[in-house]
Amino acid sequence: MNGLSVEKVAKSFGGLRAVAGVSLSIAPGELVGLVGPNGSGKTTLLSLVSGHESPGEGRVLLDGEPLAGLSPDRIARRGLLRMFQLTRVFRRMSALDNLLTAGRALGLPPRGALARAHILLEELSLTRVRDLDGGQLSGGQQKLLEFGCCFMRPPRVALLDEPFAAVHPTLKEIMAGSIRARHREGQAFLIVSHDMPVIAELCPRTVCMNAGAVIADGPTRAVLSDPVVIEAYLGGEGA
């Protein structure tokens, strides 16, 4: 019952304290939103958790095992998968091959990767574009494709950074429906989003950051109505 633990993690860039001693935990199967104004440290925190940045202080543990010193690919193989704010797909590789590449990188055998890819293409309504290059897909379809890559091998925790940004409502609902279904099956998520209606609908619990620190953590509707959180959004610093 360990899940993901972030313990007093901090990171500075020059004189900027981007993350200031953040502690939080995600239990197995928990679905948590991470919100806050621009520049509050949310994406930097995901980078520290996923190994794309190294904490200056504190530590990150997955099921009780520290992740310090591990590269992002080794962390991914341990079950911590990340979807980026700026979509990352292979633009000159077909949608199908994008999924197959992710599956093979995560250790799936060729036949297993192919079978899994077809399931995800169907689930995410991408079957009809399976043979198109990633760069030929719409922005929303690219986000769905990157989302699918995170689930070629179901992770222990999925870190999703602004998965709904600039996505057509139809495609947004496809992704939200997949998140709901996976959560019912016991998948853990940490979702960064400025889409408050979606966070309120999807996430039983939400954490709010401001100026690199956690300022609220609790049931989503209570957090979103907290005067401290409202003030952070109305009077917080810009990105």
Q: In the chain, what are the domains?
A: 4-89+156-235 (3.40.50.300)
Please calculate the CA angle 60-239-235 and round it to the nearest 5 degrees: 105
Give 213's contacts (C-beta < 8 A, 6+ positions apart).
20, 21, 22, 41
Instruction: Using alpha carbons, select from 189, 129, 205, 141 the residue that is nearest to residue 3.
Output: 189
Please calculate the CA angle 109-115-119 and round it to the nearest 5 degrees: 135
Distance CA 172, CA 195 (A): 11
Distance CA 183, CA 160 (A): 14
Is residue 206 within 8 Å of 192, Cβ to Cβ? Answer: no
What pLDDT does residue 238 have? Answer: 37
Beta strands in the chain (DSSP E): 4-13, 16-26, 31-35, 57-62, 65-66, 80-83, 157-161, 188-192, 205-210, 213-219
Q: Which helix (H) or strand (E) holds 111?
A: helix 110-123
What pLDDT does residue 1 have? Answer: 63
User: pTM score, two decimals?
Assistant: 0.92
Instruction: Using alpha carbons, select from 47, 151, 139 the residue that is nearest to residue 88.
Output: 139
Q: Which residue stretches of the chain have pLDDT < 50?
A: 236-239
What pLDDT does residue 85 have? Answer: 87
